[in-house]
Amino acid sequence: MAKQNTSTEELINLQNISFGYTKDKLILDNLNFKLKLSERIGLIGANGTGKTTLAFIILGLLTPQQGKVKLFGKICQTEKDFQQIRPKIGFVFQNADDQIIFPTVLEDVAFGPLNLGLSSEQALHKAENILKKLGIEHLKHRNIFNLSGGEKKLVSIAGVLAMSPKVLILDEPTIGLDEHSRAKLINILTKLDLSYFIISHDYDFLARTTQKQYILKNKTIFLDNTIVLHKHEHAHPLGYITHDHT
Ligand SMILES: Nc1ncnc2c1ncn2[C@@H]1O[C@H](COP(=O)(O)OP(=O)(O)OP(=O)(O)O)[C@@H](O)[C@H]1O
Ligand SMILES: [Mg+2]
């Protein structure tokens, strides 16, 4: 069989999407967006411009008044369509509390793989590995509800990675993370063999983790208006001494 050219495979394709929470006010108007296999795209935009709304539309949690949502080459309209695709999409919510299911960290991270059919032993093993990778293994027996905001965020990212998604959508993944955790997340994301779409206000983070960055503005994404982010120097105590952030 001829080998498929997967480099142009579309994972997410939004066509002419218009959406409003109320009939009289559109949040998104005739928006187009594509994420292809191996692409890593960042999205910035002012507060309240509709970035999270856009992510919810991709996941089928909100239904656009107009337009098509095509995921992995299939037009998704009904809840059943989206249900079939959702396991392939790892979504990290802006608010980590929306993601928590089980009280303890290990159980919570193991829930996804368990749900995908792994034995409880395999699921726990996978969860421990991911926690180790993210440098938060020490939290495994902690009650999630007592964790700090940044710790919760890392646990929610671990939960999503544990499900071996085909594509990641991260909504403000760096909120609440300190410099060390943020650097670790950059390191992990860039080493992953995954396509992803990151919504963030953190320009430097996007410059380090994505190849292309779009802006959501005036209810749409300007695809031909890719902005150029660049890594920049930063300031902190004793920053003049040579150091690294690993
Ligand atoms: N359930 C809802 N009902 C009505 N309006 C909503 C609802 N959820 C969000 N909105 C409004 O829709 C607009 C877009 O919200 P959204 O959360 O998508 O913005 P955002 O770009 O993610 O913002 P931020 O950068 O602050 O996270 C905002 O004005 C918000 O107040
Ligand atoms: Mg948001």
- Structure-token pair, residue 243: 């150091």
Atom 3 (ligand 1): residue with closest C-alpha?
21
Rounded to a whole number of angstroms, the distance between the first and last alpha carbons of the chain is 45
Residue 49 lies inside a defined structural domain of this protein: yes
Q: What is the pLDDT of residue 238?
A: 55
| pTM for the predicted model, two decimal places | 0.87
Pocket test for ligand 1, best of 17, 23, 29, 53 (most atoms within 8 A of CB): 53
Residue 244 lies inside a defined structural domain of this protein: no
Ligand 1: atom nearest CA of 55 is 18
Residue 227 lies inside a defined structural domain of this protein: no
The answer to whether 213 and 202 have CB atoms below 8 angstroms apart is no
Ligand 1: atom nearest CA of 53 is 18
What's the domain count of the chain?
1
Residue 235 lies inside a defined structural domain of this protein: no
Residue 239 lies inside a defined structural domain of this protein: no
CATH at 119: 3.40.50.300
Cβ contacts of 110 within 8 Å, gap of 6 or more: 120, 123, 124, 126, 127, 162
CA of 175 to the centre of ligand 2 (A): 11
Which residues lie across from 17 on neighbouring strands?
Answer: 31
Residue 170 lies inside a defined structural domain of this protein: yes
pLDDT digits (tens, 9 = 90+) for 124-163: 999 999 999 888 999 999 999 899 888 988 999 999 999 9
Residue 212 lies inside a defined structural domain of this protein: yes
CA of 104 to the centre of ligand 2 (A): 27
Tokens 């050219």 belong to 5
Helix (H) or strand (E) holding 188: helix 179-191
Residue range of the domain that includes 151: 10-221
Residue 226 lies inside a defined structural domain of this protein: no
pLDDT digits (tens, 9 = 90+) for 12-53: 999 999 999 998 999 999 999 999 999 999 999 999 999 999
